[in-house]
């Protein structure tokens, strides 16, 4: 292999690492990521509770997130907390929609 070919391989490899390292860093979840995701999920669940429309699946996802975090599996914990937040927001949307939708179901 010529010196130029070695240099090209080195530069290409270095360029690839430049792009891969930040992606790997983003993929690795930390305890701080979990705490942030959990706070968002718990806030959304509190809002759902205020509307008296909490889903049991949200509570299950929150419990799974906390269990994963207790085992230091923060990637799973973040994913579960994000799922819990999405479920809580969906329950909020359902409650708001049903505030008026029931009127259309009433026979006049």
Pick from 46, 39, 43, 81: which is nearest to 60 by CA?
Answer: 81
Judged by DSSP in three states, 71 sits in coil
Length of the chain: 108
| Two structure tokens written together for 96 | 């708001």
- Residue-level pLDDT at 106: 79
Counting the structural domains of the chain, the total is 1
Inside any domain, residue 40: yes
Inside any domain, residue 54: yes
- Residue-level pLDDT at 2: 56
- Residue-level pLDDT at 65: 98
- Residue-level pLDDT at 101: 87
Inside any domain, residue 19: no
Inside any domain, residue 46: yes
Inside any domain, residue 88: yes
Inside any domain, residue 21: no
- Residue-level pLDDT at 18: 44
Longest dimension (CA), the chain: 87
- Residue-level pLDDT at 45: 98
pLDDT in tens, the chain (108 residues): 655 554 455 444 544 544 443 444 446 799 999 999 999 999 999 999 999 999 999 999 999 999 999 999 999 999 999 999 999 999 999 999 998 888 888 777
- Residue-level pLDDT at 15: 47
In 44-87, the DSSP E strands lie at none
Output DSSP code: residue 99. H
Cα dihedral sign, 76-82-85-91: negative
Q: Which domain holds residue 77?
A: 29-105
Q: Provide DSSP, 38-54.
A: HHHHHHHHHHHHHTT--
């Amino acid at each position: 292999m010529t010196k130029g070919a070695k240099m090209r391989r080195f530069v290409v490899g270095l360029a690839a690492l430049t792009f891969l390292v930040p992606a790997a860093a983003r993929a690795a979840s930390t305890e701080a990521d979990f705490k942030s995701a959990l706070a968002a999920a718990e806030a959304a669940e509190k809002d759902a509770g205020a509307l008296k429309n909490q889903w049991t699946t949200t509570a299950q996802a929150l419990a799974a997130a906390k269990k994963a975090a207790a085992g230091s599996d923060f990637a799973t914990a973040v994913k579960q907390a994000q799922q819990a937040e999405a479920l809580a927001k969906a329950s909020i949307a359902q409650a708001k929609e049903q505030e008026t939708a029931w009127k259309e179901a009433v026979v006049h």
